[in-house]
Structure 1
Amino acid sequence: MKDYGHRGVLLAATLSALAGYVDAVGFLTLGGFFVSFMSGNSTRFGVGLATGQWTQALTAIGLIGLFVCGVVLGASCARRFGEVRRAAVLGLEATLLLIGAGLCTAGMNVAGMVAVVLAMGVENAVFQKNGDVGVGLTYMTGTLVRIGQRIATALHGGPRWDWVPFLMLWVGLACGGALGAVMFLRFGVLALWAAAAAVVLLTALVARAESRAVRPA
């Protein structure tokens, strides 16, 4: 995380918050399935198989497949436009979230959730580096492991604060999830529009920053 600078860490924490927000809305819309947390869906898939709950198993594996497709789309976009051009990936994510929000508003929740899951997969390519995930934005188990590892390093004489950026990712996801749940309870699936608007704004801000970075002196 320290390789991304303060702005990169802030962007990552913001995107984690958005992932938590969208996941909470998706979780409540789908009745207990996740749109970004695929570890949870993997567990539900295994439990569904073991208990003969085939609808649960099929729903879980379908969501997992869609998420992987989203990752492929995001990774391909990053390769096409350059991994340092994050605005392209954010633009793709924003487009999918807008489509998802529009479909859900029209009453087509299943189709809308397809677009939303794809968007969450795409998001993980924002910090793609050398074809691999630089920062995990929609899942926190690895992040929590890194927090523990960095704390242990600090206790043994290493850098004192390297764990803080990873903590910001977790806090972002948790707070975003809480906000998403509150918004869903008030607005239902229409709460997705706020997430879509936020990613549109982020896309514009990142595109502007990238344009300034490549502008000749």
Structure 2
Amino acid sequence: MFAAMLSANAGFVDAVGWLTSGGLFVSFMSGNVTKVGLGLAGRLGNLALGAGLITAFVGGVVAGSLVGRAAGKRQRAGVLWLVTGMLAVAALGLELGLMVPAVLVLAASMGAKNTVFAENGEVKVGLTYMTGALVRVGKRIATAILGGDRLGWVAPATLFLGMVAGAMLGGITQMAIGSRALWVASGVMLALTLYARALPGGREDALAVDEPI
């Protein structure tokens, strides 16, 4: 459930970022890769910004991984604090009219968010890439049909549904209050971070998942 809430927050942020940037994604890098490819083919559009978003996302993954390892047993809380801070900086940037720096910071924050559930250097839960989640839904439905775990598909499905719900709410909020919608996402992220931080030392395993989703 905690992972689904993080995915919902990512969907919210991605919707706000997409509406703000005029059609680029801050968490969905596959879409940006396609846009960059089209740009290289001659349809320039937002080639530079698309490439910048991809670079920022990867940089966020690096930063999240380093912070998580430095935080030790409080890995998840450490990364969540980083993501919360990045969202606040991006929200402030939009308030100041600095659209390009703001969406780059948003992309970095989404990259960092994907390291929340990293274990032994590998990402166990992809919070923003839904293609993988949908592949797991399909594979686990097939497993259920063949007599295996009948509910194995539920966990990845909750990530997908969380992302969809978050994107819907992000779009509605953005249309209602404009770029200030990002402060809402930042506030929700702060609440999730405080929840993780409130867990006693060594109890962050309560947020873990048993298998990749």
Task: Tell me if TM exceeds 0.5.
Answer: yes
- Equivalent in 87, 90, 111 of residue 77 of structure 2: 87
Contact 1:83 1:129 in 2 (8 A): no
- Equivalent in 198, 203, 206 of residue 196 of structure 2: 206
Which residue number in structure 1 is paired with residue 32 of structure 2? Answer: 41
Q: CA RMSD in A?
A: 1.4
5+ long unaligned stretches in structure 2: 205-213
Which residue number in structure 2 is paired with residue 17 of structure 1? Answer: 8
- How far did residue 53 of structure 1 move? 2.8
- Equivalent in 64, 67, 73 of residue 74 of structure 1: 64
Matched, 1:126 2:116: yes
In 2, distance between residues paired with 1:174 and 1:119? Answer: 19
Of all paired residues, the percent bearing the same amino acid is 45
Q: Helix, strand or coil for the counterpart of 1:136? A: coil
Q: Deviations over 1:13-63 (max 9, x none)?
A: 00000110000000000000000000000011111111x133522221111
TM superposition outliers: structure 1 runs of 4+ over 4 Å:
none
In 2, distance between residues paired with 1:80 and 1:110? Answer: 30
In 2, distance between residues paired with 1:77 and 1:212? Answer: 17
Contact 1:85 1:210 in 2 (8 A): no
Which residue number in structure 2 is paired with residue 27 of structure 1? Answer: 18
In 1, distance between residues paired with 2:8 and 2:180? Answer: 18
Which residue number in structure 1 is paired with residue 209 of structure 2? Answer: none
In 1, distance between residues paired with 2:20 and 2:72? Answer: 35
Q: Helix, strand or coil for the counterpart of 2:203? A: helix
State how 1:143-162 maps to structure 2 within 5 Å. 143-162=133-152
In 2, distance between residues paired with 1:64 and 1:109? Answer: 16
Which residue number in structure 2 is paired with residue 3 of structure 1? Answer: none
- How far did residue 81 of structure 1 move? 1.1
Which residue number in structure 2 is paired with residue 61 of structure 1? Answer: 51
State how 1:179-194 maps to structure 2 within 5 Å. 179-194=169-184
- How far did residue 180 of structure 1 move? 0.4
In 2, distance between residues paired with 1:188 and 1:83? Answer: 38
Aligned residue-pair number = 204
Contact 1:72 1:122 in 2 (8 A): yes
In 2, distance between residues paired with 1:71 and 1:58? Answer: 20
Contact 2:38 2:44 in 1 (8 A): no
